[in-house]
Amino acid sequence: MTQAAEHFDDLAALLAGYEQGNLSPAELAALNDRLVHDVEARRWFNEYFQLTAAIRSRYQVDATGSIPFESAVDAAPTVAPRGMTWLKYAAAAAVILLAAVGWLIQRPVSSSESSSPTGRIAIATLLHSRNVTWGSDPLTEGMPIADRTIAIREGRADLMIGAGTMMSLIGDTEVRLDGPMHVTMIRGRAVFDCPPSMKGFSVGLPGVEVMDLGTRFAVAQSEVDGTEVHVLKGHVRVSLTGGAMNGRQIELAANQAVHLTADRSTATDIALNVHAFDSERGDEVLISDTRGDRVLRYDLNGQYIGRFITSESNPPMRRPGGIVMGPDGRVYLAESDAGGRILCFDREGRYESTYCAGSPGVTPDTLVFGPDGALYFTDAFNSKQVYRVQRSAAHVFIANRYAPDAPGRHFGVPRGMCFDDRGRLLVADRESGDVLAFAGPEAAKPGRLLELVVDGLSRPQSLLWRDDKLYATQTGGPGSGLWSVYPTPAARAHPPVALNFVVEAQRLDDGSTLVVDTSARLVFRVLADGEIIRFGADEKLIGPTHVLLMPTENPLTEKE
């Protein structure tokens, strides 16, 4: 083996150990020395983390570094869960990785090696800012950040620190970036997600140090109310450095939390409260106003917030219909025209990609993500079949004549669709009034007819599986609305309300029901006590068809 090859192999071993977080102090010092004095080593360091980030993002590598066999052989694109977010941004943060190693052992770096505009070392980068009002100098997405104080008055800001720690600031929050392995929290709420390579990352507070031991945790800090530390995953060590508990250490594991009084005199175990770290914006309702060529957003009280997308959006959206939130937190929206596309948007309505390019003679309608992570849709009015999206194209999953041994059996208007708790795909035929069960994508024979689940329904157009029950919309006289139809007996899911033509409905956690009445050009929220909230009274709806509850963002739980 040549000297150059030995040199490369030695460096590769150090890089792998650094990424996995298992370098000894001596090995870490050796790696840092190589990076400071060897230009080629610095280039390898940068390219190594760009490559591993790309591989992990492509194959959805888990945090242990293993590639699931299924991911490597499945040709169908799926939507990656939010748990991989920090991996996807690792390449974008490569500019700060070298600085991170220098900081780890507190070694000064000359200004000529700095990657920040101010001549100081860049130790973080802003990934996203959502509805942020800045309390400090504003930051822009993608901007490298040196040591400084960051304050927001409202909204949410997501940053990557060092070689992979994700920090989300929520609401009125102020922190100081001290280095890639340490921040000081002055006030507010923040969530931290640390990969193995950032083990030892710590958060400083008055009289307290919170050290990551490989975890996802959250901190709330107030001069009056004291400090709360919540651990969703892994472990942290809380070290008291002031007050009556000076010198005490508290170990917290997953699903544990502690409250420290402001004077640091008392520590009390408390229940994990993930909702304490909800983003300030509450749940929202997105309504596809198909004939209006737009999607509108409302709060849960029916107050109009603004437009999500319109026909003037870039790219233009034609007759938006079926709408669903993917496991990645993005919004997927179908064009209800022949050859209609399925487009992907972020939570603010910004276009991200064309998820399905559209097929001649196919009109996407209801959208649902399957247990395999793929997107499925019905075409109720054109080909009258069920499709699965693979490689940005629609492929038939259930044909119109769905029973080969009974050629006369076929879909009339297959519109509503959902997966049950066994992974079966349930499809409602508005014309026949039947709900049929088909083998799901993970079965031996996907798409095969299994059984008739329910028959005799009145024009079912929307299905929902929730709490071990199947719900279906029905239209026709006083029985119009959402019903629990399986297991029997059938029962109305909400107090009676005068409805005309029900297209879709959703059950909310508080027991209320969202109902889309296309004929009335309204969306109703029917509360459990019978109170009715109307959506579309101020900003008039023209032809609503589909509705989506967009839940409050919570960086502590959204990656699960």
Is residue 63 a part of any domain in this protein?
A: yes
Kindly give the confidence (pLDDT) of every residue in the chain, 560 residues in length, as a single tens digit, with 9 standing for 90 and above.
445 445 556 777 777 676 555 667 677 667 766 765 565 665 566 555 545 544 444 444 333 333 333 333 333 344 544 433 333 344 444 444 444 443 333 333 333 333 344 446 788 999 888 778 899 999 998 888 988 999 999 888 999 998 788 999 988 899 999 988 999 999 999 999 998 878 899 999 999 999 999 789 999 999 999 999 999 889 999 999 988 899 999 999 999 999 999 999 999 999 888 777 766 566 899 999 999 999 998 988 888 888 898 777 778 888 999 999 998 889 999 999 888 999 999 888 889 999 999 999 999 999 999 999 999 999 999 999 999 999 899 999 999 999 988 888 999 999 999 999 999 999 999 999 999 999 999 999 999 999 999 999 999 999 999 999 999 999 988 889 999 999 989 999 999 888 989 999 999 988 999 999 999 999 999 999 889 999 987 778 999 999 999 987 766 666 55
* Cα–Cα dist 298/284, whole Å: 6
Is residue 484 a part of any domain in this protein?
A: yes
* Cα–Cα dist 286/34, whole Å: 53
Is residue 167 a part of any domain in this protein?
A: yes
For residues 69 and 122, membership in a common domain is answered with no
For residues 123 and 206, membership in a common domain is answered with yes
- Supply 354's token pair: 């064309």
For residues 46 and 176, membership in a common domain is answered with no
- Supply 378's token pair: 């019905």
Strand partners, 544: 289
Is residue 266 a part of any domain in this protein?
A: yes
Is residue 495 a part of any domain in this protein?
A: yes
CATH code for position 504: 2.120.10.30
Is residue 147 a part of any domain in this protein?
A: yes
CB 121 within 8 A of CB 109: yes
For residues 463 and 347, membership in a common domain is answered with yes
pTM (2 d.p.): 0.60
Domain extent for 316: 284-550
Domain boundary among 55, 88, 121: 88
For residues 525 and 476, membership in a common domain is answered with yes
Question: For the packed helices 25-37 and 97-104, what is the interaxial angle rounded to 10 degrees?
Answer: 130
Is residue 19 a part of any domain in this protein?
A: yes
For residues 312 and 406, membership in a common domain is answered with yes
For residues 187 and 56, membership in a common domain is answered with no
For residues 203 and 257, membership in a common domain is answered with yes
For residues 523 and 471, membership in a common domain is answered with yes
Total structural domains within the chain: 3
Question: Looking at residue 172, what DSSP letter applies?
Answer: E
Q: What angle do CA 243, 245, 251 make, to 5 degrees?
A: 130
Is residue 93 a part of any domain in this protein?
A: no
CATH code for position 153: 2.60.120.1440
Domain boundary among 257, 277, 297: 277
Percent helix, percent strand, percent coil in the chain, to nearest 5:
15, 40, 45
Question: For the packed helices 39-59 and 25-37, what is the interaxial angle rounded to 10 degrees?
Answer: 120
For residues 364 and 479, membership in a common domain is answered with yes
Domain boundary among 59, 88, 117: 88
For residues 312 and 415, membership in a common domain is answered with yes
